[in-house]
Amino acid sequence: MRRLLLVLGNDVRRHLKSPLAILIYMVIPLAMTGLIGVIFAPRTEGRELPPIPVLLVDNDKGLASKLLVSSFDVDQMKKMFQVTVTDEADGRKRMGRGQASAMVVIPKGFTVDLLEARPVTLLVVKNPAEQFLPDVVEEFMNTMAVMLSGVVQAFADEVRGIRAMLDLKVDSFPWETLGPEFGKAQKKVVAASKYLNPLLLRLKTEETKAPGARRSFTQADLFSAILPGMAIMFLLFIVQTLMRDIISEREDGKLRRMMTTPLRPLELIGARIFGGWVMGVAVLLVMMAAGTLVFRVTWGPFGDFLLLGAVASFWTAAFFALLHALVRNRNQAGALSAPIILAFSLFGGSMMNPEVMPKAFKMVGVLTPNRWFIDGAAAVRQGRFPFVSLIVLLVSGLVLLALAVPALRRRTSV
Amino acid sequence: MKRIKRILHVAGNDLRIMVGDKIFFFWTLAFPILFIVLFGLLYKAGDNAPAVAELTVVNLDQGRWGAYFVEKIKAPNLELTMAASEPAEFSRLLVLPADFSAKIEARRDQALAFKKRSGASTKAAARVETRLYQTIARVLCELVLYGEGDLTKFLDGHPEFRDIVRVESRFPEKTVTVVPSGFDHSIPGTTIQFIMMMVIIYGGISVLEDRKKGVLGRMLFSPLSAGDVYQAKLLGRWSMGLLQALMLFVVGRIFFRLNLGSVPLALLVIAVFALAMAALSVFIGSVCTKEDMIIGLAVLLANMFAGLGGCWWPNEIVPPAVRKAAMISPAYWAMDALHKLRFFQGGFPDILPHLGVLLTLAIVLAIVAGRSFRIKD
């Protein structure tokens, strides 16, 4: 045991002397978590999307089109849309360059057609490179269309009066007839106000979570959900780097020399696996501390998470011990390790929320340590003990260890 | 001429060694294809929200207005599920209270509870919510139009609401006519990301190993100068990036019906981008002393540039500040140029600024890499 600890201590000192590669691997998950967290953070204003750039082309320049254009000038709309009023030629040019999410074109004769209650079509030109925002503009215009259709029908008589006014000369218009018309319109406005002020029907939108889940989702929650996935991915990278000593020592002859000392092969193997495990836990603790300080990540009960981290780290050390026992040289180990880690991470949910993955990807994900670690971390965060994750990682880790030790013994004997 | 031949020979040999590595095909083809499939399915056109958005309605109303309102909500892209009480599982839920009709008939205002489950499709939720607003607007308009008298008799018959104003949508002229598939985004995005990753890792490590093992030093015994060796290394890594892009585009064309817009211009963009990455790989290979450092740096740079540059998700959902910051990523310029070609059927003038930025970057990196290129440690 003393010899095992001596080897372990020596290994730790050696790795701490040139820690740059390990430091880079520790920076990556934090940088990635920061980037994804900033992009997908819940907006403070309660909106899920950034302001939508919209081009507005008024080819009509009549009363109705001006009313429509001014509807974008309301405070709530200003927050949702970033409107630029322009002419059609410039609008088409800008849309051709993808400088807006959508362009709304009000056709010529819009006001007259509305006044005569003739069907009229508003055109929404959508940016083909965007997937979400143009549809929001289209649906907003659909709602406006319903409201405009309603107004035109509600004030059909008055609208006809306005239409006649537009056709006649000022001196030939019978102004005295306007009085009773205004009176009728006033009655309609008063009648309409019964339904519109306050609105007879409103929608009270509420975002809910699955039973037992927290009510609000903050940026820190997002970081808390992302970082464990990133942490396990780079834990795999770091531990495989540390465990590569198993092969490099065999290749450069150090192993042969070490075996001339009273050190037994089993002690050396134990030191390597134990070293990978201990340093894996240390790396996880550093990432945990950095995540807490930089992103205010919540991990749940510290003891539970530490236990999960220790078991995941043990699994990682056992896995790479077996892999390094099976490969012939360092190049082969390097060539195999990175693809395996990336495949684990892709299927296991380190690179993407497993819930949105296709079914086949999810099924493969169950075979990866990433998936169990991420699920376990989520359970700890929600205050549950990660029993299933711990059992799966521990049992499979022990199986890997049982396979790795005899294989490594064969490769260690000189 | 002989000098160029020698440089080409060394570059070709580098490429041959890399292609000969069995794992090369995992990195250049198999793994990127997994990415393409995953992101392609995730951002499949029209599938950001399910084709039909679900809405569960709990109609507790004891009068006739509840059923009338539900009828008005119905739309081809909406799937209504009626429930007697609030179910445990739902994506979106609308509750019509027991006194829904009574309140309308008494002309008393009311708010309808609409619940969205967080984590369910945002786009589907927006679609349902908009439809509900449209329904409310429609019912209110009908009430304003025809609701003068006793509202209990309103539903016995009234003229139909006419949609006088309609909305037509289309894409800009001379661009696409059908919605591009998710693969048209995910294939270029993945190609750009893996060119960065592969060229930096493979290119950087091989420069490091050649230097450490003295291969570069031995090459100077041939008629090659140090400058020639550098140019050959640069060319080898550049051709590797190009080869990878070609393979992914061909696979994309065959299996995912990839449409790049103008293929020659898309390849030109990739060529200039790959040149910048080749120079970066030689630089990193020259300054790093350990393989793990190169892999770490490559993973860090490739992922940060890809995330910022719009290789993973549509840039439209990114906050404006991050969108501006994205301009520091070479991936942004390459992706934007490829979007111009694919989605806007753009031509050479449209991507000229992008090519200019990428070429400038490539020249700057090539100069820096040339200065730091070392034959021996």
Instruction: Look at residue B46 in the predicted model and tell me its pLDDT.
Output: 45
Residue of B nearest to A343 (CA): B31
Peptide bond into B314 cis (omega under 30): no
State the DSSP H helix or E strand holding residue A121, giving kind and residue range, or none if neither: strand A120-126
Three-state DSSP class for B171?
Answer: coil
CB A218 within 8 A of CB A43: no
Chain A environment of B132 (Cβ under 8 Å):
203
CB pairs under 8 A between A and B: 285
To the nearest whole percent, how much of chain B has pLDDT over 90? Answer: 26
Selected residues 342-361 of chain B with any CB under 8 Å from a CB in chain A? 342-344, 350
Chain A environment of B78 (Cβ under 8 Å):
none
Instruction: Look at residue B179 in the predicted model and tell me its pLDDT.
Output: 64
Which one-letter DSSP state was computed for residue B222? Answer: T
d(CA A162, CA A183): 14
In this prediction, residues A11-21 reach a mean pLDDT of: 77
Region of poorest pLDDT, from A202-216, A282-296, A340-354, B210-224:
A202-216
Q: Tell me whether strands B92-96 and B53-59 are parallel, antiparallel or unpaired.
A: parallel
In sequence order, the β-bridge partners of residue A57 are A86, A105
pLDDT at A61 over 90: no
Contacts of residue A125, Cβ cutoff 8 Å, sequence gap at least 6: A91, A92, A95, A102, A103, A104, A105, B169, B170, B171, B172
To the nearest whole percent, how much of chain B has pLDDT over 70? Answer: 94
Region of poorest pLDDT, from A17-21, A61-65, B58-62, B116-120:
B116-120
Contact A132 B130 (CB under 8 A): no
Instruction: Look at residue B47 in the predicted model and tell me its pLDDT.
Output: 44
CA B345 to chain centre: 18
Instruction: Look at residue B180 in the predicted model and tell me its pLDDT.
Output: 64
Average pLDDT, chain A: 81
Instruction: Look at residue B319 in the predicted model and tell me its pLDDT.
Output: 80
Residue of B nearest to A337 (CA): B23
To the nearest whole percent, how much of chain A has pLDDT over 70? Answer: 88
In this prediction, residues A97-103 reach a mean pLDDT of: 87
The residue that leads in pLDDT, A316 or B121, is A316
pLDDT at B45 over 60: no
Instruction: Look at residue B324 in the predicted model and tell me its pLDDT.
Output: 86
Instruction: Look at residue A167 in the predicted model and tell me its pLDDT.
Output: 67
Instruction: Look at residue B283 in the predicted model and tell me its pLDDT.
Output: 95
CB A364 within 8 A of CB A347: yes
CA B128 to chain centre: 25
Q: How confident is the model over B92-115, as pLDDT tens digits?
A: 888 888 888 888 888 888 888 888
d(CA B113, CA B55): 13
Give the torsion through C-alpha atoms of B244, B245, B249, B250, to 10 deg: -40
Instruction: Look at residue A368 in the predicted model and tell me its pLDDT.
Output: 94
In this prediction, residues B326-349 reach a mean pLDDT of: 90
pLDDT at A78 over 90: no
d(CA A238, CA A23): 9
Q: Does B308 touch chain A (CB under 8 A)?
A: yes
- What number is the ipTM of this complex? 0.73
Q: What are the distances in angstroms from CA A2 to CA A8, A14, A245, A261, A269?
A: 10, 18, 20, 14, 14
pLDDT at A215 over 60: no
In this prediction, residues A316-344 reach a mean pLDDT of: 83
pLDDT at B181 over 80: no
Categorize the per-residue pLDDT at A33 as very low, low, confident or very high, splitting at 50, 70 and 90: confident
Instruction: Look at residue B357 in the predicted model and tell me its pLDDT.
Output: 96
d(CA A293, CA A299): 12
Categorize the per-residue pLDDT at B48 as very low, low, confident or very high, splitting at 50, 70 and 90: very low
pLDDT at B79 over 90: no
The alpha carbon of residue A363 is apart from the nearest alpha carbon of chain B, in Å, by 14
Q: Which amino acid is at A139?
A: E
Q: Does A147 touch chain B (CB under 8 A)?
A: yes
Tell me which range, A56-65, A124-133, A174-183, B268-277, is most confidently predicted by mean pLDDT.
B268-277
The alpha carbon of residue A1 is apart from the nearest alpha carbon of chain B, in Å, by 31
The alpha carbon of residue A403 is apart from the nearest alpha carbon of chain B, in Å, by 25
Contact A346 B107 (CB under 8 A): no
Q: How confident is the model over A357-379, as pLDDT tens digits?
A: 777 888 888 999 999 999 999 99
Contact A150 B126 (CB under 8 A): no
Tell me which range, A44-53, A61-70, A201-210, B45-54, is most confidently predicted by mean pLDDT.
A61-70
Residue of A nearest to B338 (CA): A129
Region of poorest pLDDT, from A145-154, A186-195, A366-375, B269-278:
A186-195
Q: How confident is the model over B275-295, as pLDDT tens digits?
A: 999 999 999 999 988 888 888
CB B26 within 8 A of CB B242: no
Instruction: Look at residue A297 in the predicted model and tell me its pLDDT.
Output: 86
Contact A200 B110 (CB under 8 A): yes
Angle in degrees, CA B258, B262, B264, rounded to 5 = 105
Instruction: Look at residue B329 in the predicted model and tell me its pLDDT.
Output: 94
Q: What are the distances in angstroms from CA A277 to CA A26, A306, A368, B116?
A: 16, 13, 18, 44
pLDDT at A217 over 70: no
pLDDT at A44 over 70: no
Q: Does A153 touch chain B (CB under 8 A)?
A: yes
Selected residues 161-220 of chain A with any CB under 8 Å from a CB in chain B? 188, 191-192, 194-196, 198-211, 217
